[in-house]
Amino acid sequence: MRRIIFVLLLLAALHPLSFGQTGQKAPQLALKDLRGRDLRLSDYLGKVVLVNFWATWCPPCRAEVPDLVKMQREYKGRGLRVIGVTYPPQTAEEVRQFIRELRINYPVALGTKETKALFDQSETLPVTVVIDREGNFRELIEGILLPEEFEQKIKPLLQ
Amino acid sequence: MRINRIAALLGLIVALSLGALSARAETKTATIRVEGMHCKMCSASVAKALQATDGVEKVEVSHEKGVAVVQYDDQKVTEAKLREVINGTGFKAVEEKSAGD
């Protein structure tokens, strides 16, 4: 029995940590937003960050954007910051047009499959990664971010 | 003997209450055609939103069939509300026309 436990512990120690564990440091994200400004997660320490992976061709992603715009507006003063990262195929012009139409009030960058894979290996969209004020991963929310998920998983981080 | 009688009486009350409750709350099944779902993640988004709706008991969404099958408590939620929830996910719940239309 002891030998089994030892082997299990050894395997656990040798297995590389995969991203997705609560409290783990969030991966470094360094992109340029569509206005050409640097977008680095490390610049957001002290804020609660929602990194929203989305695409203009994805109906639930489009449906979710107005809620994200509202969250950014209402909770900015309490330290909430939304970052949009698109998923291909996507052109800058398509995204810019969408930003204008929906009056997106947070930075948006063009991402790649690899950008999303830093946080999430699935092909699910939309996906929202929640990062706390210390830069730690807290939640990965698949699908539209529902109001009750905001209340339960994000609002407590804004206290 | 007296305890047995009390237990029987309580059992009867519980059975009658449950009967009354079930008479009021009925589980219904709605089969709603949904336009625009082309992938697994689309149906997952619709299913997630429906499952989070008060009164919804069971959800099966198929992007292949373009259908959401929802079991719900008709005392808590209506089919119209379910359609509204689906439309809120960016897809379109299609109104089925009756044979007479």
What are A74-121's pLDDT values in tens digits?
A: 999 999 999 999 999 989 999 999 999 999 999 999 999 999 999 998
As for the ipTM of the complex, it is 0.74
Per-residue pLDDT of chain B (101 residues; tens, 9 = 90+): 566 776 666 665 655 555 555 556 689 999 999 999 988 889 999 999 999 999 999 999 999 999 999 999 999 999 999 999 999 999 999 987 644 44
Determine the pLDDT at residue B38.
87
Q: Which residues of B touch A (CB under 8 A)?
A: 36, 41-42, 44-46, 48-49, 52, 88-91
Of A5-9, A10-14, A49-53, A83-87, the poorest mean pLDDT is in: A10-14
**Inter-chain touch B88–A146, beta carbons under 8 Å:** no
User: Which pLDDT score is estimated for B99?
Assistant: 45
Write out the two tokens for A70.
């509202």
| C-alpha span between B82 and B68 (Å, rounded) | 10
SS3 A146: coil
B60 class by beta-carbon count within 10 Å (0-12 exposed, 13-18 middle, 19+ buried):
middle
Whether residue A59 and residue B52 make contact (CB cut-off 8 A), yes or no, is no
Residue contact A60–B45, C-beta within 8 A: yes
User: What are chain B's domains?
Assistant: 25-94 (3.30.70.100)
The DSSP 8-state label assigned to residue A16 in this structure reads: P
Beta bridge partners of A129: A51, A140
A85 neighbors A51 (Cβ within 8 angstroms)? yes
Residue A9 confidence (pLDDT) above 50: no
The percent of residues in chain A predicted with pLDDT above 70, rounded, is 87
Structure tokens at A39: 């977008």
CA A32 vs. chain centroid, Å, equals 16
Packed helices A92-102 and A59-75: angle between N→C axes, nearest 10 degrees: 50
DSSP symbols for B35-79: ES--SHHHHHHHHHHHHTSTTEEEEEEETTTTEEEEEEETTT--H
Q: Which among B56, B50, B95 has a CA at the least distance from the CA of A60?
A: B50
pLDDT at B95: 82
- Would you give the distance in Å from CA A100 to the centre of its chain? 22
Q: Which of A123, A144, A148 lies at the smallest CB-CB distance from B45? A: A144
State residue B41's pLDDT score. 85
Is pTM, for the whole model, over 0.95?
A: no
Quick: pLDDT tens for A15-38: 434 466 788 999 989 999 999 999
Reduced to 3 states (helix: H, G, I; strand: E, B; else coil), residue B83 is helix
Question: Would you call B16 exposed, middle or buried from its count of C-beta atoms within 10 A (0-12, 13-18, 19+)?
Answer: exposed
